[in-house]
Structure formats: C-alpha cells, structure tokens
Chains A and B, each alone.
Chain A
Amino acid sequence: MGTINILGKQLAVDADGNLANRSDWNEDVARELAKQEGIPNLTSQHWTIINYMRKVSEKEGSAPSIRRLTKESGVDTKTLYQLFPKGPAKRAAKIAGLPKPVGCI
C-alpha cells in the first residue's frame, strides 16, 4: 500500500490511489485531493456531490454509481462531467476520501 503527501502529511492510499482511512479526510484534504485531480476550486455544486457521496457511503458502505448520482443528487450527468471530468463517480469518490465505487468490476 502506498502513501501520498497531503498538506505535509503522508496519508495511506489503496491500490486505486484513494485514501485508505476515512479518518484521514477533512475538507482541507479534499481541496488538496481536488487540486491533484486537476480541479483547482471546489464550488458549492462540487460539495453537494462530495457530501452526498459521503452520506451514502456512511450508510451503505460503498460510494454510489454515476447512475445513482444523477438520479438522487439533483445534478444531471452533463453537469457531473463538467464538475468532475473523465469519470464523475470515480473522481468524486477519490476527492471524498472514499474507495472507488463498486460496479467497476
């Protein structure tokens, strides 16, 4: 298992490069993770998605798929791709400090 440097701290990551420990995450860490993903500023829409993903993951144990994001977050797919280019579910999960959503098997 590898680590990444976030705000001067070495944080453990899984094979997909996502944070290994939920407790390592906070909003400042999220902003840094977003920068590493090429998203310089997290807008309120970004936070809507990130918070929604964390809520689902907390309750059900895994992050939601893109299809469910579109259905339940109130943000349409087109906008999701603008917010988190190249794979919204994957990327938002990474920034939210969660493992990659299942379904990609």
Chain B
Amino acid sequence: MKHLLILGGGTGGTMMANKLAPVLDAREWQVTIVDNSEKHYYQPGFLLVPFGIYSMRDVVKPRRQYLPAGVKLVISSIDHIEADKNKVVLSDQSILPYDYLIIATGADIHPEQNEGLVDDEWRKSKFDFYTPEGADQLSKFLKGWEGGKLVVNPVEMPIKCPVAPLEFLFLADAYFTEKGIRDKVELRLVTPLSGAFTKPRASQVLGEFLERKKIEVTPDFGLARVDSKEKKLVAWDDIEIGYDLLVSVPTNMGDPCIGRSDLGNELNYVPTDKETLLAKGHDNIFVIGDATDLPSSKAGSVVHFQSEVLFENFLEHIEKRPMPAHFDGHTNCFIESGFGKGLLIDFNYETEPLPGEFPLPGIGPLSLLKESSMNHYGKLMFRWVYWNVLLRGLELPMGSAMSMAGKRV
C-alpha cells in the first residue's frame, strides 16, 4: 500500500483530496489528511463579519463533510516532518509514514512577532480580522463605536489576500456612512508598501478609490512597535501615527511545524519550484497555496489554479514521467469597494492587472479593474461556489492559466 499524506485540510488540502482520491486506485493508495480542527472556515468571509454582512455561522462548516469517502482524516497538530525518512511526527509523537507528501498547511497571523501588539488592549482597542475570534470581536466592537481615528495597518509583507486591508477600509467607509457617523470617523491606511497596492496599474486605480473615499494613506511605514498607552504606532524611523481603533494585519507566517522541520524560510514558507510545485530539494514533496514561498498572492484563487497544475503533475510524477503542467502565478481577486459594488483583478507572475471584461472577452459579465455591482454579486456568489464547486475539486468554467483575452493593454 502506498501512502499519500496531505498536511492541512483547508482550501488546498481539501481540493487535492477531492481531485486525487477518485483517480488513485484504492487497492494501491491510502490517502490521509491531517488537520488540527474539525472546522473548515471560509476565510474570505472573515472580511465581511466585522460589518455584519456575514455572521460567524456563514463562514464555518464541518471539515469532514467536504472530504471524499475513503480519505482518512486525522485530527491532530503536527510536530514535525522528517523529510529524509519520509515520515511525519504528530504532536502525540505518533508517526505517519508517506510515499508522497502534499504540504497545504497555509499561513496564519502571528501578532506575537510585533512588539506591543498583544497586551491588555488586544481585542479592546486593537483587533485583527484574519481569525474567526478577531473578526467576531471586531464586529461586536464596531456596533457600539461612536467614531475616532481608525487605522488599518498591514505590518509586513507578504500577507494573505493582499487587497483585504483596502477592502476593509472601503467597507468601513460604507458602514459608517450608512450608520450616519462617517464625519466622525477618520480612516487611514498605514502600509509598508510605497502605495495602495504592489502592482503599478492596480495601485493607481485603487489609490484613486482611496482618495475619492477620503481614506488617508501613510506609505513606507515599517512598524517598530505599538504603544498601547499612548495609542500610537511607532515606525523604525521614529514616525508616529495615533489611533483610537487599530485594525492590524500582523505578520503572516507559515505553520510552525515547517520551522521545526527545517523546511522553511525565515517566515516558515516552504521553498517551492514556481512551475512544478515540488518542494525544492525534495522529489516526493509537493507544496500548495499559502504554505509556499512563491511570488504569487496568498489567496484562494491561487490555490485553485495551483490545484489543477498539481493534480496533473502528481499523476505523472508518481509514474516517473515528466511533469506536464506549469503554474504561471495566476491570481484572480474580487475587491469589495463598498455600497454594493466591487472590482475584479486578474494577473500572474509576469502580467499585472489590466482593465477588460471577464471571463468572456467583450461581454463579461464581470469587469476587470473597474467598479461594478456585478463584481460585488460575483463576490457574494463565490461563497456558494467555494463550498459546492471549488472544495469538491470540480471544474470552474475557466482554465488554470491566465488568459489575455478581453484585456486591454
């Protein structure tokens, strides 16, 4: 019996289990998936919880329900991987051997990496919205908040869903406007980037949005520490920004088990071949999604496109044939812009987000790099697509490689 072991039952791990289990011969292969929780969270939904658009009930389902028959689910934390011995050691020291390993352990926030962030004021005047608890607590806090200075601060790149801090501000603008207290709220993005976003044309478009919505931007801000007493952010070059409400996106890191296994870089991301998705230096370990060190966004859409590449490559690689598929860095993100509208961006390693129509050239119905109501409905509809199509490993009506059709250069 050969063992395929999948670490992590999130978006990437679940999709790979659903794609591979039906095609691998059950007399030859045992597929096992390890995760530390029975709950599967729809992470893109966290953004909408603070504003009451989604409740916590909308973003969580039982993990088992999304795994195919025949796949064994082990609920446990992972102590470490022994790559030279082809085995994984769980937190109770029990051992799972493997012939092939897929690392899908994701990324998480690590507020303890940021000086002064976690103290008595954590989740009282300083919040995150990247965890279920954080999003839920912030939602309760916002209901009673009467206004002041709201600062959104991604501390360090890369972060999961790099547009989320902007979306949070756009949604906050709409939320406080509808509450009738927008004039009492000052909104500010404090970012380590030189502008609103990393890709030049999208950065310009999104920068104009921020300006129009009267959201201030402090660029090139390298956070040294948070001073909770004085309620201010202090940068390495001593610039200070005051806040009443801090919404932080703390340092994101890969799973600590990657660090303990000595398989990661300085942020516990696994060095990964950007085209084949094999872990560098390990011929029987693949990596997918946020767990990789790839120069693509950490986002569900990326995991989806990678899953198709990994599926094709895996089936050839186990037969010792050359791997046919190459990941091109394809990313596709809905960006909520508030008041029932949204934008959509589509890009890869080489090509930055461009205006146009998507997925049908000249028709849409979605428009790229431009605000529309249809894009907003696309985002809301996507939650259904996630649970019912994506996780189950079914095909969406678009290929994994980015297409230039319908785009204006």
A residues whose Cβ falls under 8 Å from a Cβ of B: 15, 62, 65-68, 71, 77-78, 80-82, 85-88, 90, 102-105
Contact = CB atoms under 8 A, between A and B. Distances in A.
Interface in B209-265: 220, 222, 224, 235-237, 265
A105 B156 contact: no
A40 B162 CA distance: 34
B148 interface: no
B52 interface: no
A77 B192 contact: no
A88 B265 CA distance: 19
Interface stretch (B42-50, B193-201, B372-380): B193-201
Contacts of A67: 156, 266-267
A67 B264 CA distance: 14
Contacts of A71: 266
A81 B266 contact: no
Interface of B: 156-158, 162, 192-194, 198, 200, 220, 222, 224, 235-237, 265-267, 295-298, 352
Contacts of B352: 15
Nearest to A81: B236
A86 B266 contact: no
Given A67-B266, A68-B266, A86-B237, A104 B222 contact: no
A87 B192 contact: yes
A77 B198 contact: no
A66 B266 CA distance: 10
Contact of B222 (A62, A66, A68, A105): A66
Given A65-B266, A105-B158, A77 B236 contact: yes
Nearest to B331: A105
B194 A90 contact: yes
A59 to B, nearest CB: 12
Contacts of B267: 65, 67
A82 B224 CA distance: 13
Given A81-B235, A103-B157, A105-B298, 7 more contacts: A66-B222, A81-B222, A86-B237, A90-B194, A103-B158, A105-B162, A105-B198
A64 B248 CA distance: 24
Contact of A102 (B162, B237, B266, B295): B295
A53 to B, nearest CB: 14
